[in-house]
């Protein structure tokens, strides 16, 4: 079961309440919770892959979520290594730095 997400409301609730609602209730509350269609583990692999290719700061939070969703260190290392050839070596290096912090040396 996916943990209830409150990041939208916590960070943007007063400033952008509709965006916060969509983030927490639709993206995480409805889409991520459809584990009968796709596991949170697999959604995490897809999400981390997408964020890594874009080089955006949300990668760190989603890599932590991926670990909570059962993505192993070996799976994360393989994902980053594979994507290095498609998204660029510098992005892979940055992702490995995060992975080492999150998964340990």
Q: Which residue has the tokens 């983030």?
A: 23
Residue by residue, pLDDT tens for the chain (105 residues) are 556 778 889 989 999 999 999 999 999 889 989 999 999 999 999 999 999 999 999 999 999 999 999 999 999 999 999 999 999 999 999 999 999 999 996
Cα–Cα distance between 67 and 76 in angstroms, integer? 9
**For position 83, what pLDDT does the model report?**
97
Structure tokens at 95: 């992702």
The count of other CB atoms within 10 Å of the CB of residue 11 is: 13
Q: Are 88 and 53 in contact (CB under 8 A)?
A: no
CA dihedral 75, 80, 82, 88 (to 10 degrees): 170
**For position 2, what pLDDT does the model report?**
55
The count of other CB atoms within 10 Å of the CB of residue 58 is: 12
Task: Indicate whether this model's pTM tops 0.95.
Answer: no
DSSP labels for 15-75?
A: T-HHHHHIIIIIIIIIITT-TTTS-HHHHHHHHHHHHHHHT-THHHHHHHHHHHTT--HHH
């Amino acid at each position: 079961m996916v943990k209830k997400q409150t990041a939208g409301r916590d960070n943007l609730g007063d400033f952008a309440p509709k965006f916060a609602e969509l983030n927490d209730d639709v993206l995480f509350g409805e889409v991520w919770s459809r584990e009968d269609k796709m596991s949170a583990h697999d959604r995490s692999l897809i999400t981390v892959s997408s964020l890594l290719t874009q080089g955006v700061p949300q990668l760190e939070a989603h890599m932590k979520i991926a670990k909570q969703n059962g993505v192993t260190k070996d799976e994360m290392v393989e994902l980053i290594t594979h994507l290095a050839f498609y998204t660029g070596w510098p992005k892979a290096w940055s992702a490995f730095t995060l992975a080492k912090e999150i998964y340990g040396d």
